[in-house]
Structure 1
Amino acid sequence: MPIYNITHVTQYIYDAPVIDSINQIKIYPFHGGDQNVIHQDVTITSDPSIHFFLDYWGNRVGVFSITEPHTTMTIDSKIIVQTMEKPMQIMKPLSEIIRLDYSKPYIIQSNDIIDDILSMSPKNGDKRELTEWCSQYINANFEYKKGVTTIETTVDEILEKKQGVCQDFAHLLLHMLRTLGITSRYVSGYICPNRNGMRGQGATHAWVEAWLDDYGWYGIDPTNNMWVTDTHVKLAVGRNFNDCSPVKGSFKGIANQSMNVYVSVGFEDGHIIEENNDVEMHQQKVQTPIIVPKQFYMQQQQ
């Protein structure tokens, strides 16, 4: 049962003072089952009060605001979490509303390509086998490559590029599974593989959970072509990335913004994996003070 020390720092930088920054954060790991959150400390610029609620998907969400003028905003999360092998679940029925929300394929132009791919899948109807086959197909036919996609990249574009990162592969797998009638959801979190050299290590990561009727939610990681193990730490779930965005919000001001993200994973043997990303946000140019929406968390999940 490994214990991980995870640091996740997000810093927004504005080229002019802004005010009334209102933000929502989904940076709180799931607690219970195969994850035990031993400790978490979140510090934010100006030390605002954080108000909590559970969203529609069951994620713990924090909301805070910074009213005074500021040119930077830093969110620093330090987590100590223990993970375990996934236990056998006591089956709870999945509500029909949730099942429908997690069962709708994306609207895409390339359905003929998806149909051609899925025509090669096993025909025995076993959902576990189909889920594994789809993950294997993505891993074998799509190149893991940073910098060729963004958080706005569509499934059509992923199919055309045949390249991407974990976020892209999770979205593609979701579409394939839902087309096959398998209820599935997007998962954001961290992967902590120590020295195994897995893709997405030392960064925010994304994978998929499929609903297996004889088991419940079971995670699969198409980026690494593996079922989820105790190397994965789960933060949030939803229909897609937008439901799991770690940080989003708005502010008032005339400012351009950029974002830096730092993630480190420390292991019990003292080894540390780090990733630091400087991310350019979309430029915001306005002539009069208005509410300027902050971009969704622009560092892709790797």
Structure 2
Amino acid sequence: MAVESRPLRYFVAVAEERSFTRAAGRLGIAGPALSRAIRKLEAETGVRLFERSTRVVELTEPGAVLLAQVQPVLEALDAAVRRTARASAPNRSLLLAVKADADGGLLADLLAAAAIEPDAEPIAVRLCGWREHTRLLRTGEADAALMFEPYDLDGIDADVVALEPRVAALPTGHALAPASRVLLADLGIAAEGIDERAERDINEHGVHDLAQLLALIGLGTTTTVLPRSVAARYPRPGVTYVPIEDCPPAALVIAWPERSRSRGVAALVRAAAAVAESRGMSTAIEASR
């Protein structure tokens, strides 16, 4: 049985909106046409995909299975189309996703080293938001990314190119702010829970970028842990950075889609390794393993 991608996109829209009316508006089609397409898809698959009521539309168990399988497939298809279009562009360039001031201080050296690599391609930097890198890689909106761990591993390959110490970002009035260094236990953080703590801070306070998080720290609302290079670029009144003696280092990685066969991406990855080695970072990485 072959199913076209269009009805599957319709199905995903209804599943995400939980409403045929909202999904039809999002898709720009008439409601009856959407309903017919879903009924046809149900007939083709032989299962009921939605439980319909006057108030809400809910996925059935088979519908939930289909949604989980279809979303990454459609995402990969869209990514393939974007990459194909870029490959045919007359002045194409490799897109490197980087969050501003979160490159470990390597970006300029990386771009210079990549330019002289065999198979090098022109590189355009795509500035992105917090934890947005892997989405751009999966959707084909970026070819590679320079980012700190953690990240969503699904469909992504990566090499660590630098390790650096982390610091605690504390309100200046915090009891630990005058200290020359602190321990994770002083902060109430377990070594294996550092990244979970950062995610909790982001989700709990609804922040969208580092500037917002630092503003909350300055107000005494929360604390966090940052790579030292990031803290160095963000001095803030009311925020004090204190080294953490027993904190695992932050890992900066160069990442790319796991199915990538781009020679330009391979050249960029080699350049990142060369920059890390020239700065003595590769030795630190091996020593930490």
What's the TM-score bracket when you normalise by the shorter of the two chains? under 0.3
Larger Rg: 2
Length-normalised TM-score, structure 2: 0.26
Comparing both structures, which one devotes a greater share of its residues to strand? Answer: 1
Comparing both structures, which one devotes a greater share of its residues to helix? Answer: 2
